[in-house]
Amino acid sequence: MKRILKGLLFLLLIVCVLGISFTVMSEKLNPSNSHVNLSKNAKVNIVALGDSLTQGVGDPKKSGGYVSRIKEQLQKRGYKNVESYNYGIAGQRSDQINARIKQNKNGLTNKLRKANVIVLTVGGNDLLQSLQKNALIGSESQFERNMDGAIKKYQNNLQTFLSHVRRVNATAPIYVYGIYNPVYVYFPNVTNISQYVDKFNVITSNKVKQYRRIHFVDINELTYGQFKTKEQRLKLENSNKSISINPFNLIELDGSQGEINNYISPTDHFHPNDKGYNFMTSQLLRAMEKNKDIK
C-alpha cells in the first residue's frame, strides 16, 4: 500500500513539473502571452484598418489623421524604422471592413500578417446607420427594439471581425478605438445619441477583453471638446434649446461660423480636426505605453 502511495505521489510530482515546464515553454513559443517591447532599431510595421477615422477625414493636413501622426510620434521617440499603412475607408461598417480582409483588398491581409502593431476604428457607422434608419420611428418602444437588434448585430459582427484579425496575425498587439458623439455640442439635450454611443463603447470595450493583447482606446472626450466640466455642459444645454434641425443633417449648419467643438472639423461638423487627431494619437500612445508595447 505504501509503495502504491509513493508511486502516485511520484507521478503527481512528475505531472506538476511537466505542467510548469509546459507553461514556461508556451510563454516562449507564444509571443502573444507577453509584451512586444518594440525595439527602436527594428522595423515597426503599423497597419491601420477601419472607417473614416482611420482614413483621416477632416484632417486639415490631408496626411491621414492619426495614422501619420502615430508614425511621427514613434520616430520622435527614437524608433528609426517605422512604416505605417492606412486602410481606412469612410462609411464602412464592421462587416464591410471585415469583408476587405477576406478579399485581401489592396494586399490588406498580407500587410496584416506582417504587422507588429495593428490599429482599428470600428463601430461609428454601425451606430450611425442604425440611428438614421430608425430616426423617424414614432414609437419609442419600437425604436428601442430596433436599436436593441442593431446592438446585437454589432456585437456579433465585432466578434467575427476581431477573431478574423487575430487569426490573420496571432502576435501583434491590436488597439481598437472607441467612438464619440460628434453632434453633442449642437444637440446636448438629445440624450439618445450619447446613450447609444456609450452602449457601443461598452460593447467594444468588453469584447476586446475576451482576447489576449487586444486593447480599447477611449476617445469619448471628443464628444465634449473644450466643454469639460459639468458647469460648462449645463450652460451649453441651456443655450441650445432653440436649435431644431435634424441631428443627422449637420449640413444645414452654417459652416461659415466655424465649429463649436474645438476638436471637430468645421467642414463637416463630424470628424476630428487637427487637434482632434492629435488627441486620438496621444490616447493611442498612452495605451501603447500602458501595455508596454513601446518604450
Q: DSSP string covering 228-294, please?
A: -SHHHHHHHHHH-TT--S-TT-GGGS-GGG--SSTTB-TTTSSSB-HHHHHHHHHHHHHHHHHTTS-
Note whether residue 8 is domain-resident.
Answer: no
CATH number at residue 160: 3.40.50.1110
Report pLDDT for 258: 78
* Interatomic CA distance for residues 166 and 146, integer angstroms: 30
Lowest mean pLDDT among 79-93, 124-138, 175-189: 124-138
Look up the pTM and report it: 0.84
Closest Cα partner for 122 from 96, 100, 148?
96
Q: What is the CB-side half-sphere exposure of residue 283 using CA atoms within 13 A?
A: 21
Asked if the model's pLDDT at residue 163 lies above 70, the reply is: yes
- Which DSSP symbol is given to 107? G
Read off the pLDDT of residues 249-279 as tens digits, 9 standing for 90 and up: 554 555 556 789 999 999 989 999 999 999 9
Note whether residue 23 is domain-resident.
Answer: no
Note whether residue 223 is domain-resident.
Answer: yes
Report pLDDT for 136: 78
Note whether residue 20 is domain-resident.
Answer: no
Report pLDDT for 36: 52
> Residue range 4-16: average pLDDT?
43
Asked if the model's pLDDT at residue 194 lies above 50, the reply is: yes
Note whether residue 222 is domain-resident.
Answer: yes
Note whether residue 27 is domain-resident.
Answer: no
- Domain tally, the chain: 1
Read off the pLDDT of residues 211-257 as tens digits, 9 standing for 90 and up: 999 999 999 999 999 999 999 999 988 887 555 556 655 545 555 56
**Domain ranges, residue 275:** 37-290
* Interatomic CA distance for residues 93 and 78, integer angstroms: 35
* Interatomic CA distance for residues 247 and 198, integer angstroms: 17
Note whether residue 9 is domain-resident.
Answer: no
**Cβ neighbours for 165, distance < 8 A, ≥ 6 positions apart:** 49, 101, 112, 118, 120, 174
Note whether residue 26 is domain-resident.
Answer: no
* Beta-bridge partners for 81: 43
